[in-house]
Amino acid sequence: MNTNPLLQQKCQPLEGGKPMPAAEIEARLREAPGWALQDGAIEKTYRFENYHQTMAFVNALAWIAHAEDHHPDLLVTYGSCQVRFNTHSVGGISINDFICAAKADALLG
């Protein structure tokens, strides 16, 4: 059972807010296995056995993104999906990115 407290949070509108400080991003990444800071976003690549599993993950993640109103960039291949989150309204990384990253991870247990 995943007890990540971010799973209980909801994304909030952040227009006009400031991006998360670098030290906080680094600290949160230490608690987010597989996620890394890359070119102004947090990203992780999920691997699957086949296209069907990949697309099932993509569709479930799309549902979460819609519910949270926070949408990732996705690069989908036959057996993988690269997920990138950043928050355009703050010009960087925000708590919303880590909330959605935790929910993406929870899809796979």
Q: What is the pLDDT of residues 14-58, one digit of tens each?
A: 999 999 999 999 999 999 999 999 999 999 999 999 999 999 999
Please enumerate in sequence order all residues whose Cβ is within 8 A of that of 55, keeping only pairs 6 or more positions apart, or say none: 76
Domain ranges of the chain: 34-109
Crossing angle of helices 95-106 and 51-68, rounded to 10°: 140
The pTM is what?
Answer: 0.95
The DSSP letter of residue 45 is E
Q: What is the second-level CATH architecture of the domain 34-109?
A: 2-Layer Sandwich (3.30)
| C-beta of residue 68 within 8 angstroms of C-beta of residue 10 | yes
pLDDT digits (tens, 9 = 90+) for 62-81: 999 999 999 999 999 999 99
2: phi then psi, degrees, rounded to nearest 5? -85, 125
Sorting pLDDT into bands at 50, 70 and 90, what band is 2?
low
